[in-house]
Chain A
Amino acid sequence: MTRTYPEEAVSGFPQPTREVTDSEGRTILLCCPNESERLVEMYLAFDPADRAQGIPPVEESTIREWLDRITGPDTLNLVARHGDRTVGHVVFVGDTEYELAIFVLQAYQNAGIGTALLRTALGAAAATGIERVWLSVERWNNAAIALYRRVGFEAADTPEFGMEMTLRLDVTE
């Protein structure tokens, strides 16, 4: 599949580990890539209405299989943690171009965590040499599309049912 990427690379994203305060005053740590048990707990608590194109899976066993696959080689993961609880997760999977997905637990949405987590994950991705990032998003998901645009994603020219967006990271920083 050939995707179009913006010519201009985007730079200036922060690096993990970072601590941010969300708009509800909660202290959120953006960190800790390999904590699979806490991630399983987060996805077990996930609202079915926030599922996108079949992920995250519903059953615990399929959640575990999916997490094994997306936390293995050729992936990059970052989580948002509130106290002991994992409340957000960004993952990149790929080889030459990387597919991105971000999930934030319902009670932690609309508080700025997604933006901070996404920006920090893009900083981590650029630092590891990931240049081309793509994602698919349902065309009606305006909140997500607005978030992706804010950090620099552009709509890609693809014939997919869902909308695809791409971003080029500056890996020379």
Chain B
Amino acid sequence: MRVIVGVNGSESAMAALVAATERARAVDDDLTVAVYGGPDPVDVVETRVRDRLSTLDIDAPVERLEGHPGGLLVERAEQGGFDRIILPGGTRSPLGKIQFDSTVEFVLLNAQTAVTLIR
């Protein structure tokens, strides 16, 4: 299966990246990482992701999404023939409520492929 994981550099996104790489390795999926800016600029996110992948000894292509990350991720998944999009499954409010950022919301509503949220 070809999977694309979206990462914005946040703590939950980096945790999702690690989980996605472990899963991809276990089932021999073909993994692509799409990085986009969030709390940090896309350059910083890309460096952080490449460092982490090299620590994990994973050789996966890293692509940058510059502009509207949700829209670009949906488009890339369709045009690139991906079977699944993987995203971090939201953050928690002070009270513990799950909150989705606008990228997760956009992808959930617009993706034609399966979407997996990692929690």
Contact = CB atoms under 8 A, between A and B. Distances in A.
A160 B100 contact: yes
Contacts of A160: 99-100, 102, 105
Contact of A53 (B99, B101, B102, B105): B99
Interface residues of B, number: 13
A100 B96 CA distance: 11
B28 to A, nearest CB: 32
A100 to B, nearest CB: 8
Contacts of B100: 160-162
Interface residues of A, number: 19
A136 B94 CA distance: 11
Contact of A55 (B96, B101, B102, B105): B96
A94 interface: yes
A85 interface: no
B50 to A, nearest CB: 29
Contacts of A52: 97
A93 to B, nearest CB: 4
Contact of B97 (A69, A94, A101, A159): A101
B96 to A, nearest CB: 5
B99 A136 contact: yes
Interface in A14-38: none
Interface in A52-72: 52-55, 57, 66, 69-70
A161 B105 contact: yes
Contacts of A101: 95, 97
Q: Which of B96, B99, B101, B105 has the most CB of A within 10 A?
A: B96
18 contacts: A52-B97, A53-B99, A55-B95, A69-B96, A91-B95, A93-B94, A94-B94, A99-B94, A99-B95, A101-B95, A136-B93, A136-B97, A159-B102, A160-B99, A160-B100, A160-B105, A161-B104, A162-B99
